[in-house]
């Protein structure tokens, strides 16, 4: 009996010991988990701010502004007590001629190398005659412009310092997540060095400021004067350049935008090396695809970039045609035009890339040798075709259409060698009007077929309806720009 009781007690003690050990291990794991969570929400940014502030600079620019002309000069009644004051302000005392004035602006920037290269926004230093850099310790140096890129609003400056400068490096903005902590340092409203913190509110924002928009949205306080300053992650890496805010009153309301380091890093590298950007150029005009276009083209899904024009250049040389849908570029799937523009711009000039297109229900791979966008933008290319002779009109799908002739060319200011059908009027209740067609547009293709007169377009419309198609794809020219429109074949 005693032996049984002793065994029972031993078993109980062993069980209790196991339970205590289990609870202890569980507690440790919970503490580790809470510790990891706490690290995501820092108790203080003080150490990081102290470490990084010496690499951030204030930027002051000076610009000469032409004097006020007689037309712009305010008219002061003769004999007014303010007459002498305004005369002294607007005139230089020599024959009443307008005198030039000096204007100054403030911004921020950050040092990216010990030998004095500095990054800021292009709009901070635009048209500046003199650029003065103020460092955290109060020292000032005059900077020279190395290069700038208006498309991303980035500029690189250079100062000559007597000793190595503290600097920061770029981090990978692509791994930054919505909800991550970030810290901004800059010169808001000219108040000097200031730190603010917040989180990433959104990624991949576009402000329609340029073709390469890729902004990080943050609620960290960003005000005027923060432009050009860095947005840091918690590792002290620059993941964005503070560029813009959305605000009804000019102050921070938690809608700040920083151009991502993914974009800025490549631009800065090129500006340092060449003093200018060198972006790849595919040589095609493109547009996004909607559901009507996808149906008309026979696509399984609404994605890719639709080629609406192919001027002379790399694309034309490689065999890309208007109406092709680019679904892959250099091994990367193309979701829309924004993604394609970014991928092409990031590619090296002269690189041979594989472009997969969708044409007539099949995919095809084309090799293209990329040109340089900056060189292509200096040229203006005009399409080449023949002009029809007869004058014909018709009304289709809410549009009044006219075969182009010599008279209509003059009236609509069209190229002499352009053929197609001119749009004279569009009913405001039609699908054509909703899709943006307007009087003065020229339809040069319908259903992927070139058209010469209204008979062509009428026949194409009728054939598509008989075939049970719900929509038709039109290639529309407006000025120097062409685009595809997916038009419903059912008249309202």
Q: How far is CA 303 from CA 71, 298, 325, in A?
A: 54, 12, 9
Token pair of 463 as six digits = 């054939």
153 catalytic per annotation: yes
Closest CA to 190 of 87, 61, 366: 61
**Residue pair 337/286 in contact by the 8 Å Cβ criterion:** yes
Closest CA to 326 of 296, 354, 356, 348: 356
Closest CA to 214 of 167, 151, 165: 151
Which one is catalytic: 194, 227, 258, 261?
227
227 catalytic per annotation: yes
123 catalytic per annotation: yes
**Residue pair 478/458 in contact by the 8 Å Cβ criterion:** no
**Residue pair 306/289 in contact by the 8 Å Cβ criterion:** yes
**Residue pair 482/475 in contact by the 8 Å Cβ criterion:** yes
Which one is catalytic: 123, 180, 209, 408?
123
Long-range contacts of 299-306 (CB under 8 A, 24+ apart): 299/325, 299/358, 303/327, 303/334, 303/335, 303/336, 304/334, 304/335, 304/336, 304/358, 305/334, 305/336, 305/337, 305/339, 305/340, 306/484
Which one is catalytic: 108, 149, 153, 308?
153
Token pair of 358 as six digits = 């969708």
Tell me how far apart the alpha carbons of residues 316 and 294 are, in angstroms, rounded to a whole number: 23
Tell me how far apart the alpha carbons of residues 167 and 55 are, in angstroms, rounded to a whole number: 5
**Residue pair 245/255 in contact by the 8 Å Cβ criterion:** yes
**Residue pair 358/292 in contact by the 8 Å Cβ criterion:** no
Tell me how far apart the alpha carbons of residues 391 and 267 are, in angstroms, rounded to a whole number: 52
Token pair of 38 as six digits = 């706490």
CA 228 to chain centre: 16
The distance in angstroms from the start CA to the end CA of the chain is: 99
**Residues whose CB is less than 8 angstroms from the CB of residue 350 and which lie 6 or more positions away in sequence, other chains included:** 369, 370
CA atoms within 13 A on the CB side of 146: 23
- Residues known to be catalytic: 123, 153, 227
């Amino acid at each position: 009996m005693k032996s049984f009781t002793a065994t029972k007690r031993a078993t109980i003690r062993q069980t209790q010991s196991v339970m205590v050990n289990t609870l202890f291990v569980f507690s440790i794991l919970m503490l580790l988990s809470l510790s990891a969570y706490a690290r995501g929400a820092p108790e203080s940014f003080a150490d990081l701010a102290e470490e990084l502030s010496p690499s951030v600079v204030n930027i002051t620019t000076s610009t000469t502004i032409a004097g006020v002309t007689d037309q712009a000069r305010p008219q002061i009644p003769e004999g007014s007590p303010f007459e002498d004051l305004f005369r002294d302000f607007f005139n230089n005392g020599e024959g009443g001629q307008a005198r030039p004035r000096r204007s100054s602006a403030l911004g921020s920037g950050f040092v990216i190398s010990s030998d004095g290269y500095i990054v800021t926004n292009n709009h901070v230093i635009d048209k500046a005659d003199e650029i003065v850099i103020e460092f955290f310790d109060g020292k000032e140096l005059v900077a020279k412009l190395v290069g700038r890129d208006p498309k991303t609003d980035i500029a690189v400056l250079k100062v000559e310092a007597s000793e190595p400068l503290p600097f920061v490096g770029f981090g990978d903005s692509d791994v930054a997540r919505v909800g991550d902590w970030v810290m901004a340092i800059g010169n808001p409203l000219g108040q000097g060095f200031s730190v603010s913190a917040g989180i990433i509110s959104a990624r991949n924002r576009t402000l329609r400021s340029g073709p390469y928009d890729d902004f990080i949205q943050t609620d960290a306080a960003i005000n005027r004067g923060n432009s050009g300053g860095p947005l840091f992650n918690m590792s002290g890496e620059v993941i964005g350049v503070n560029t813009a805010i959305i605000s009804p009153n000019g102050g921070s309301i938690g809608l700040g935008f920083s151009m991502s380091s993914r974009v800025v890093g490549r631009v800065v590298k090129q500006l340092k090396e060449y003093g200018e950007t060198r972006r790849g150029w595919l040589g095609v005009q493109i547009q996004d695809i909607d559901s009507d276009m996808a149906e008309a083209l026979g696509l399984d899904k609404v994605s890719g970039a639709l080629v609406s024009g192919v001027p002379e250049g790399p694309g034309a040389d490689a065999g890309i045609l208007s109406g092709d849908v680019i679904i892959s570029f250099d091994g990367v799937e193309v979701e829309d035009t924004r993604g394609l523009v970014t991928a092409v711009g990031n590619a090296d000039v002269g690189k041979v890339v594989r472009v997969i297109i969708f044409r007539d229900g099949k995919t095809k791979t084309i090799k293209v040798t990329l040109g340089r966008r900056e060189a292509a933008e200096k040229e203006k290319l005009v399409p080449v075709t023949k002009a029809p002779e007869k004058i014909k009109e018709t009304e289709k799908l809410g549009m009044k259409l006219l075969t182009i002739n010599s008279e209509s060319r003059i009236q609509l200011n069209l190229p002499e060698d352009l053929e197609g059908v001119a749009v004279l009027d569009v009913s405001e209740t039609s699908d054509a009007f909703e899709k943006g067609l307007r009087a003065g547009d020229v339809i040069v293709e319908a259903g992927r077929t070139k058209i010469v007169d209204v008979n062509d377009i009428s026949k194409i419309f009728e054939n598509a309806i008989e075939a049970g198609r719900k929509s038709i794809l039109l290639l529309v020219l407006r000025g120097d720009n062409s685009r595809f429109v997916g038009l419903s074949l059912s008249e309202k």
